């Protein structure tokens, strides 16, 4: 197994088209086909299902895709580190996010850092929740964005709070409750509920979601995998979703009303205690925190 095989596999998996994958890799289509065939032979399995007109990921291919991206990500990160130690004085800063919504906060908090720290080159990776902690502990990441509840307490990991976010009920802007200062759980029983699986890692939200779900018939519950998907369902009128307001899923079509006595969730940055690299320390210390952050749609 080699790097070119893996890169060809990822490109075909993302484009589901051998010609477009070849164009992205700047090689010929037959070369891509040979690399995929060689990889499938080596793994003794079919990664793609092919017809005369279409290409689909096989179930084994879907499983292999996430691992392949992780392998290539580590390889690219290692290459950046080696290259930064020779030639120019460039310090790659590896930043991890669990979802694309965190990227909006990156632009808000560190908009002035390119001028302050010209030698620091941010490399942002979006990584599934279940994998991000291991990569951080192994030293593959310098900084993590996330909720304090996302990362279990461990020696050697520091957390810097950026904001406290209320747990809110996300509703369409035209909803009659959009002007209220808060909403009670009893009121929510009148509406359909959108359950976000991503937020099940947050105990404060998960507790409320589970309590409400027991009171709903299955026909009144819609499930999704991310905060962005939950916001899209809210805008389409499928029901309400419980979302921390700090998540930048803001939209002119959505309003966030705090849930009565639901409390707040801390959102911030994770980094290593005793970090000796002054670039990391200064990067974190220089974050410009808005007093009343109001994220915009990504």
Rounded to 5 degrees, what angle do the CA atoms 90, 156, 67 make? Answer: 65
For residue 195, being part of any structural domain is answered with yes
- Cα gap 128→148, rounded to integer Å: 16
For residue 101, the enclosing domain spans 76-162+267-285
Environment class of residue 94 by beta-carbon count within 10 Å: exposed (0-12), middle (13-18) or buried (19+)? buried
Position 296 scores a pLDDT of 42
| 115 & 245 share domain | no
| 106 & 245 share domain | no
- Residues of the chain with pLDDT below 50 are 292-293, 295-298
Residues ≥6 apart with Cβ < 8 Å to 2: none
| 257 & 189 share domain | yes
Position 298 scores a pLDDT of 35
At 182-206, the pLDDT tens digits run: 999 999 999 999 998 766 567 888 8
Strands 240-244 and 254-258: unpaired
At 73-131, the pLDDT tens digits run: 777 777 666 655 555 567 788 888 877 777 777 777 787 788 888 878 888 887 766 67
Count the domains in the chain: 3
| 154 & 280 share domain | yes
Rounded to 5 degrees, what angle do the CA atoms 57, 59, 65 make? Answer: 65
| 186 & 261 share domain | yes
| 191 & 129 share domain | no
Position 125 scores a pLDDT of 81
Position 135 scores a pLDDT of 77
Q: Are 272 and 157 in contact (CB under 8 A)?
A: yes
What's the predicted TM-score (pTM) here?
0.60
Rounded to 5 degrees, what angle do the CA atoms 159, 294, 249 make? Answer: 85
For residue 155, being part of any structural domain is answered with yes
For residue 42, being part of any structural domain is answered with yes
| 50 & 191 share domain | no
| 257 & 172 share domain | yes
For residue 91, being part of any structural domain is answered with yes
């Amino acid at each position: 197994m080699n790097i070119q095989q893996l890169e060809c596999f990822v490109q075909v998996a993302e484009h589901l088209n051998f010609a477009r994958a070849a164009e992205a890799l700047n090689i010929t289509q037959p070369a891509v086909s040979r690399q995929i065939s060689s990889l499938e032979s080596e793994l003794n399995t079919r990664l793609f299902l092919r017809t005369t007109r279409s290409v689909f990921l096989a179930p084994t291919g879907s499983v292999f895709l996430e691992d392949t991206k992780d392998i290539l990500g580590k390889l690219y990160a290692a290459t950046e580190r080696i290259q930064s130690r020779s030639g120019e004085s460039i310090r790659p800063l590896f930043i991890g996010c669990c979802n694309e919504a965190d990227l909006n906060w990156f632009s808000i908090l560190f908009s002035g850092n390119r001028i302050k720290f010209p030698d620091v080159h941010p490399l942002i990776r979006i990584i599934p929740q279940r994998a991000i902690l291991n990569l951080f502990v192994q030293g593959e990441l310098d900084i993590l964005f996330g909720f304090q509840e996302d990362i279990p307490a461990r020696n050697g990991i520091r957390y810097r709070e950026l904001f406290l976010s209320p747990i809110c009920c996300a509703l369409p802007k035209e909803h009659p409750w959009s002007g209220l200062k808060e909403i009670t759980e009893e009121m929510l029983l009148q509406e359909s509920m959108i359950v976000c699986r991503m937020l099940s890692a947050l105990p404060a939200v998960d507790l409320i979601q589970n309590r409400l779900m027991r009171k709903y018939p299955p026909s009144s519950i819609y499930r999704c995998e991310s905060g962005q998907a939950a916001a899209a369902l809210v805008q389409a009128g499928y029901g309400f979703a419980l979302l921390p307001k700090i998540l930048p899923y803001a939209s002119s079509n959505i309003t966030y009303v705090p849930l009565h006595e639901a409390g707040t969730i801390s959102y911030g940055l994770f980094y290593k205690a005793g970090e000796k690299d002054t670039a990391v320390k200064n990067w974190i210390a220089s974050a410009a925190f808005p007093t009343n952050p109001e994220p915009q749609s990504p």
